[in-house]
Amino acid sequence: MAITITAFERSPDGGKGLARDTRVRWALEEVGQPYEVRLVSFAAMKEPAHLALHPFGQIPTYEEGDLALFETGSIVLHLAERHAGLLPDDANARARAITWMFAAINTVEPPILDLTTARILERDRPWATERLPLVVDRIRDRLTQLSARLGDADWLDGAFSAGDLMMVSVLLRLRMSGILEEYPNLAAYVARGEARPAYKRAFDAQLAVNTR
């Protein structure tokens, strides 16, 4: 069944891997599924045709036959459950990998997203300079805990899984902040993710769209 995802026609980061279609492309590459990309403008994302696929008017979406999905966690889980390569066979290990997916998007990503909000959207607010250090502290709290759990392991729970794919994707957002480098094992973890051939193919495909 042909797979089509949506992505930004012009990504705000110029296609450097921060838009969330990257993690879906990465998962597709890891499981060896070919896919098409339909590029959408910011205006088109708010039109009825796209809202029928994504109620919040965002990218990415995922279409496969008569199945349409949104939310990257759900899309990556769908791929991981249907194709080999992203979830272990052992039932308990599988449940733990899925737990790391939720931890990435539910526990680690929110404070990281707050940093973008604080630095860009709230920059001109009178309280912005007071809020920013609080946001950074909350990120450091999470990274300290994650760093302690990862220790000197390559991946979060045994072999690379969809949990690592989501966690690395979330941590990548800190690339420009310098915060990740305060945690050498997490910086190395992210670098390991980025070094995977499947990630590189996903990154290159997204960059190609934005450098045409």
Ligand X SMILES: N[C@@H](CCC(=O)N[C@@H](CS)C(=O)NCC(=O)O)C(=O)O
Q: Are 19 and 11 in contact (CB under 8 A)?
A: yes
- Asked if 61 touches ligand X (CB under 6 A), the answer is no
Nearest CB to ligand X, comparing residues 113 and 159: 113
| b/e map 135-155, b = 16+ CB within 10 Å | bbeebeebbeebbeebeeeeb
Site stretch for ligand X (CB under 6 A), options 56-64, 136-144, 157-165, 186-194: 56-64
Site stretch for ligand X (CB under 6 A), options 26-34, 55-63, 76-84, 119-127: 55-63
- Asked if 20 touches ligand X (CB under 6 A), the answer is yes
- Helix, coil or strand: residue 179: coil
Calculate ∠ Cα 66-67-73, nearest 5°.
Answer: 170
- Asked if 210 touches ligand X (CB under 6 A), the answer is no
- The least distance separating ligand X from the CB of residue 113, rounded to whole angstroms, comes to 8
Query: Which residues sit opposite 6 in a β-bridge?
Result: 38
| Binder of ligand X out of 3, 59, 168, 186 (CB under 6 A) | 59
- What residue type is 151 in one-letter code? G
Each as own residue / partner, the long-range contacts of residues 46-50 (CB below 8 Å, 24 or more positions apart, any chain) are: 50/6
| Binder of ligand X out of 33, 39, 44, 71 (CB under 6 A) | 71
Binding site for ligand X (CB under 6 A): 19-20, 45, 57-59, 71-72
